[in-house]
């Protein structure tokens, strides 16, 4: 563990800050820090993830609102009645960004009675790597299953998820049960794909993207410990991914395996892969080999997503307000926060980060904020593995998930499904799934008393 990680002196300060000021976090210099720095707003209703940062000018607010409109627009098949918003597909997953990121929030797996994916997707690839060291797309099915198509273009396949219960018992005798997904791809429309590596992923929440993007590269890399030199069992390393915008390999920050370098790269890829929208970054439609109906389908004006619109969409996500911590039972949360540091959660879920002074947009520059992530990849063990490498991330490595806003998911999205595929039905289940590098922390969690576990969960719910 490196000297800046917060299990040392910071742990005490986190406790100290929690005692009096539960609505904020704390920095290593003892200064209290709101969850999203200057982008923080006190929000705890259904719209908590959808609000603009407090410090936008009227013109910026107009840009934000336009970005918001693009994020929520239901794109139409070309030619549509509004030229700026047509060009959907031919193959796609959802007709809008908000279809998956509902109210800028988190997606979930299908629940009982639903037979389609509403706010998640399944990445696929074949063994090997592409020319940039990324997942090697299947020649026909590409790197993601499009489970919808415009009229005349058959969806690639249908995804069905079956669940297996995995029972366990705490050392104090309290029983629990986890559920593991079995993902089935059925009704392939373009022939048997042969061997496919598959990775089901739910849509993450949007607030705070601009801040995570503005953490200096050097700060992320300084926390790497690939050979576990400090012997704490935790060996984080940054993903290194191809950024199609800069044409360079850069540290990955976004996505469950940190497989995208910037908000722009991720958003253009989402527009292309999830909705079939071309842009200056991905100028072609996403039809695979042998998908003739896709290739023959009507096109919108190229690019479907205009340059200025893509930029406003990105600005919108960069300056979404981050909800402030809620105070709740301050004493209990402070106790939970202390336990969080003591049992080793904060070794990966690093509470405090800072952005560079010259970051753009300027709203995110020079901020201290509390995302609870190191943005590094960690081996999380066989239980969570998808077996599908993603650039430098192995089949069992995942990016430390930021924990801010977690407690608001039930309010904003009406569910409490966590982890990359939404398998955890509660925060407690999410912790119990931690294995690999996080197995020791998971075991220390199990050894806590029922009351201590409740305090830790209460702290997470306050984020």
Contact residues for ligand HEC (CB under 6 A)? 93-94, 97, 99-101, 120-121, 201-204, 209, 234, 254-257, 259, 263, 266-267, 270-271, 274-275, 313, 317, 340, 343-345, 347-349, 378, 380, 384, 398-401, 403, 406, 418-420, 427, 430-431, 434, 437-438, 441-442, 445, 460
Query: In terms of CB distance, is 85 or 190 closer to ligand HEC?
Result: 85
What is the DSSP pairing of strand 148-149 with strand 135-136? unpaired
DSSP output for 101-131: SGGG----PPPTT--S-SSEEEEEEEEEE-T
Q: How far is the CB of 190 from ligand HEC (least distance, A)?
A: 19
- For residues 33 and 427, which CB has a smaller minimum distance to ligand HEC in the complex? 427
Residue that is written with structure tokens 């219960």 in the block: 165
Q: How far is the CB of 214 from ligand HEC (least distance, A)?
A: 14
| Residue 275: CB minimum distance to ligand HEC, A | 6
CB-nearer residue toward ligand HEC: 368 or 431 = 431
Tally of residues, the chain: 463
Closest distance to ligand HEC from the beta carbon of 429 (Å): 9
Classify 251 as helix, strand or coil. strand
Q: Which of 395, 421, 390, 386 is nearest to 137 (CA)?
A: 390
Indicate if the alpha-carbon torsion angle 41, 47, 53, 59 is positive or negative: negative
Give 177's strand partners: 167
Largest CA distance in the chain: 64
Q: How far apart are CA 365 and CA 379, in angstroms?
A: 31
In whole angstroms, the minimum distance from the beta carbon of 57 to ligand HEC comes to: 23
Smaller CB separation from ligand HEC, 203 or 368: 203
Q: How far is the CB of 70 from ligand HEC (least distance, A)?
A: 8
DSSP secondary structure of 160-191: EEEEEEEEEE-TTS-EEEEEEEEEEEE--TT-
- The alpha carbon of 394 is separated from its chain's Cα centroid by a whole number of angstroms, namely 17
State in angstroms the smallest separation of the CB of 418 from ligand HEC: 3
Both tokens assigned to 296:
């023959």
Nearer to ligand HEC, 54 or 233 (CB): 233
DSSP 421: T
Q: Which is nearer to ligand HEC, 41 or 415 (CB)?
A: 415
Output 141 or 418, the one with its CB closest to ligand HEC: 418
From the CB of 130, what's the least distance to ligand HEC, in Å? 15
77 versus 348: smaller Cβ distance to ligand HEC = 348
**Least Cβ distance, residue 356 to ligand HEC (angstroms):** 19
The DSSP-derived string for 332-363 is HHHHHHHHHHHTTGGGTS---EE--TT-SSGG
CB 22 within 8 A of CB 462: yes
Least distance from C-beta 104 to ligand HEC, angstroms? 10
Give the span between the Cα atoms of 319 and 186, in whole angstroms. Answer: 40
Which helix (H) or strand (E) segment is 199 a member of? strand 197-202
Pick from 348, 318, 365: nearest CA to 442: 348
- Number of neighbours of residue 231 by Cβ within 10 angstroms: 10
Q: Do the beta carbons of residue 444 and residue 343 sit within 8 Å?
A: yes
Quick check: helix, strand or coil at residue 308?
A: helix
If the CB atoms of residues 64 and 445 are measured against ligand HEC, the closer one turns out to be 445
Q: Please, which residue, 24 or 386, has the CB nearer to ligand HEC?
A: 386
Q: How far is CA 334 from the centre of its chain?
A: 26
């Amino acid at each position: 563990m490196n000297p800046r990680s917060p299990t040392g002196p910071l742990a005490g300060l986190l406790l100290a800050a929690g005692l009096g000021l539960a609505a904020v976090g704390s920095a290593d210099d003892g200064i209290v820090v709101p969850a999203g720095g200057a982008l923080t707003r006190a929000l705890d209703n259904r719209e908590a993830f959808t609000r603009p940062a407090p410090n936008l000018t009227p013109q910026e607010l107009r840009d934000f609102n336009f970005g918001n409109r693009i994020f929520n627009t239901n794109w139409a098949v070309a030619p549509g009645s509004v030229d700026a918003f047509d060009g959907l597909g031919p193959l796609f997953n959802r007709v809008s960004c908000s279809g998956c990121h509902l109210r800028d929030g988190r997606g979930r797996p299908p629940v009982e009675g639903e037979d389609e994916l509403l706010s998640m997707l399944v990445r696929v690839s074949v063994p090997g790597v592409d020319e940039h060291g990324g997942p090697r797309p299947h020649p026909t099915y590409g790197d993601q299953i499009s489970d919808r198509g415009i009229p005349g273009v058959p969806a690639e396949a249908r995804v069905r998820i079956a669940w297996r219960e995995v029972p366990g018992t705490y050392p104090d005798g309290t029983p629990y049960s986890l559920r593991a997904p079995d993902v089935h791809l059925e009704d392939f429309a373009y022939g048997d794909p042969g061997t496919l590596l598959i990775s089901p992923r739910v849509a993450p929440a949007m607030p705070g993207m601009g801040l995570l993007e503005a953490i200096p590269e050097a700060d992320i890399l300084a926390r790497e410990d690939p050979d576990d030199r400090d012997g704490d069992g935790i060996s984080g390393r940054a993903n290194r991914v191809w950024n199609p915008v800069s044409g360079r390999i850069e540290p990955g920050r976004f996505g469950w395996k940190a497989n995208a370098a910037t908000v722009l790269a991720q958003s253009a890829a989402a527009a292309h892969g999830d909705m079939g929208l071309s842009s200056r970054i991905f100028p072609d439609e996403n039809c695979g080999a042998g998908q003739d109906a896709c290739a023959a389908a009507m096109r919108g004006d190229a690019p479907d997503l205009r340059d200025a619109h893509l930029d406003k969409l990105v600005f919108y996500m960069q300056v979404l307000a981050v909800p402030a911590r809620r105070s709740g039972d301050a004493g209990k949360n402070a106790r939970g926060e202390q336990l969080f540091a003591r049992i080793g959660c904060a070794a990966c879920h690093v509470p405090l980060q800072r952005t560079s002074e010259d970051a753009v947009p300027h709203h995110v520059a020079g901020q201290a904020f509390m995302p609870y992530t190191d943005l590094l990849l960690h081996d999380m063990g066989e239980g969570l593995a998808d077996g599908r490498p993603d650039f430098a991330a192995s089949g069992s490595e995942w990016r430390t998930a930021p924990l801010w806003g977690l407690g608001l998911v039930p309010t904003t999205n009406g569910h409490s499904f966590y982890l990359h595929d939404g398998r955890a039905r509660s925060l407690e289940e999410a912790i119990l799934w931690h294995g690999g590098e996080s197995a020791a922390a998971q075991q220390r969690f199990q050894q806590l008393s029922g009351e201590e576990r409740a305090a830790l969960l209460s702290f997470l719910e306050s984020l």
